[in-house]
Amino acid sequence: MENRLLTIDEFHRSGGEWMGLFNGRPFSGVTLDSREIKPDAVFFALPGEKTDGHLFISKAIVAGASVIVYSDQAYDREFIGTETLGIRTENVIDFMQDLANRVVKKIRIPILAITGSNGKTTSKEMVSAILSSKFKVHKTSRNLNNHLGVPLTIFDLSKDHEFMVLEMGMNHAGEIARLCEIGTPTAGLITNIGTAHIEFFNTQENIAKAKTELFDYLRKHNGFLFVNADDPFLLKRLTGNNNTMSVFYGIKNREASVKASDVGLGENNAYRFNWKDVRSGKKGSVQLAVSGSHNVLNALGAIAVGLKYEIDPDTINQALAGYHPDDKRMQFKKAGEIDLLIDCYNANPDSMRAGLTTLNEIQNSGRKIAVLGDMFELGAHTDAMHRSIGKFILAQKIDGIITVGTHSKHISDELKSYQSKLGVHHFETRENVMGWLESTIKPGDLVYLKASRGMKLETISDFLIETFNP
């Protein structure tokens, strides 16, 4: 990409010991994965848990890498007589983050950072859909939202980009603050404060403190805040900040400036609602294409962003109506005459309750079956939080509950008295679940799949699609 902002000058300013020669050609991309190296690519050789990037330096040179950043002096000799520039530094990650910060400082564009326990990616996609009507938007792709992903996103910035939307994830205190130092956001949105990664924080209050490191950074740097006024943890920490440098959005809270009303189930089991910005008087009406009442709040946050950057209401409405989820997030698919709701990209107690609420609300001709797997990173709260899901289900009307894994047995244990057509069943393997579903489901049934990413429940949906599709 000729207009890529990352050039050899930024490497020069970042230091390190230089070995070999730089071929002088523009960079084709940046990667941490030796399998993705293309001619003229930049490769960061990171020491990892499973393998060490240094072991692939020679392979990267053969593949035509333009620059390789590494830390082990023993590999200096690999660059002798090559047209690959080797840069040896004490810490490859620190070098990469510093390099990204140098790149982002070369361009003066709005940078919106989005974090939160749930809905980060959906909010990022909704916001980007709206902003793309006016700006050339660069956004986080895939799940590149951590201390490695944010720099990789920045390295793909070009001179043509007019807006950047950065998703920021974290599982320890201080991580959001560090990502802000790297990405230098000018505005920020926190979707909510839930229980994701509570293993590392113990309480939601601690999670709120870590997430609002984004707002702390923005207040120090005269940035703009988009605040979910319906979230009690955010509201508590942001009291007194409903001013010209912020906008509050919500459904229930009177503090909200951007509000939703007449919220109800509309077409294709997705929500419709009216919205209004109290400050400007602008208003609109949206029919979402993504299921779940929780996505009304995600959409409101995106509306607030659109209004801030002067997108007209009709364009906002059209952009939200055209947003369709992918990547296993509340994604509808067909397996013959059976409906699948695939929501197994990740899970925590809040997102699982939201998904089960959506399942309960959906109107379909057949039965509803929930397949629920283990939720990870809950630490000492693991058993109690899985049991809490079982207690939550007691108030729902679901025709069959299947739990799979180890911890999810606590869900089914809470449902011994649950009255349903197909009962409650626990299986230890996905294969057992596949067998039960294959022999049980009928045309018109809806199967909902939810678990943490490591449970790989998409193998169940893949099996059902292959089995039942003609």
In order of their start, the domains of the chain are 8-98 (3.40.1390.10), 107-321 (3.40.1190.10), 331-468 (3.90.190.20)
pLDDT tens readout for residues 447-460: 999 999 999 999 99
Whole-Å CA distances, 260 to 74, 193, 383: 61, 20, 36
The torsion angles phi and psi of 112, rounded to 5 degrees, stand at: -105, 125
Judge contact between 105 and 184, C-beta under 8 A.
Answer: yes
pTM: predicted TM-score of the whole model, two decimal places: 0.89
What would the DSSP string read from start to end of 285-346? EEE-SS--THHHHHHHHHHHHHHHTT--HHHHHHHHHT----TTSSEEEEETTEEEEE--S-
Judge contact between 99 and 67, C-beta under 8 A.
Answer: no
Average pLDDT over residues 30-48: 94
Q: Which amino acid is at 201?
A: F
- Whole-number pLDDT of residue 239: 66
- Whole-number pLDDT of residue 427: 97
Sign of CA dihedral 347, 350, 351, 357: positive
Residue that wins the pLDDT comparison between 464 and 267? 464
Judge contact between 159 and 3, C-beta under 8 A.
Answer: yes
Judge contact between 242 and 227, C-beta under 8 A.
Answer: yes
Helices (H) and strands (E) in the chain, counts: 16, 20
- Whole-number pLDDT of residue 200: 62
In a 3-state reduction of DSSP, which class is residue 4? strand
Q: Which residues contact 266 (CB under 8 A, 6 or more apart)?
A: 272, 287, 288
pLDDT tens readout for residues 128-164: 999 999 999 999 998 899 999 999 999 999 999 999 9
Average pLDDT over residues 46-58: 89
Q: Which of 197-211, 234-248, 276-290 has the lowest mean pLDDT?
A: 197-211
Rg of the chain over all Cα atoms, to the nearest angstrom? 24
pLDDT tens readout for residues 108-121: 999 999 999 888 99
Sign of CA dihedral 130, 323, 175, 100: negative
Burial category of 468 from C-beta neighbours within 10 Å (exposed 0-12, middle 13-18, buried 19 and up): middle
Question: Residue 286: pLDDT band by 50, 70, 90 thresholds?
Answer: very high
Q: What is the number of residues in the chain?
A: 470
Question: Residue 241: pLDDT band by 50, 70, 90 thresholds?
Answer: low
Question: Residue 198: pLDDT band by 50, 70, 90 thresholds?
Answer: low
pLDDT tens readout for residues 305-320: 999 999 999 999 999 9
The overall average pLDDT reported for the chain is 92
Question: Residue 462: pLDDT band by 50, 70, 90 thresholds?
Answer: very high
